[in-house]
Amino acid sequence: MGEWAIVIQGSGIHDNGRPDDADAVCQRFVDELAQSQHVVSATFTVGARRTVEGPAPGPPSRTRHPGPGPHATRARPGPQCQRPVAAGVPSTSGTNV
């Protein structure tokens, strides 16, 4: 017995009000899991996936950078919609599920 995490990535239909939509299937899965497990959080996220590229790896630095440098390069986020999967479980990411 111990901590666990489940991550599922895919593509397909969602948010159409159909029982086979990914969000509906996710909701049923979380509800069933919560009947026998301690679910800390669950998030269903839709949107574009982007690769975030940083600088080429080099030798480890022996000094700390005084602030953000090239190692903190980030791409602008794509469209995202984090909709809670309602199970009444508080989420650590700020979205209740």
pLDDT over 50 at 94, yes or no = no
Q: Does the predicted model carry a pTM greater than 0.85?
A: no
Among residues 12, 50, 34, 10, the alpha carbon closest in space to that of 85 is found at 34
**Is 20 part of a structural domain of the chain?**
yes
Domain count, the chain: 1
CB 31 within 8 A of CB 87: yes
Q: What is the DSSP letter of 71?
A: G
Q: Which tokens go with 55?
A: 């600088």
- The single-letter code of the amino acid at 66 is P
**Is 26 part of a structural domain of the chain?**
yes
Compute φ and ψ for 21, nearest 5 degrees. -65, 145
Instruction: Note the pLDDT tens digit of each residue in 20-42.
Output: 999 999 999 999 999 999 999 99
SS3 47: strand
Domain of 16 in residue numbering reads as 1-48+77-97
List the end-to-end C-alpha distance of the chain, in Å, as a whole number.
Answer: 23
**Is 87 part of a structural domain of the chain?**
yes
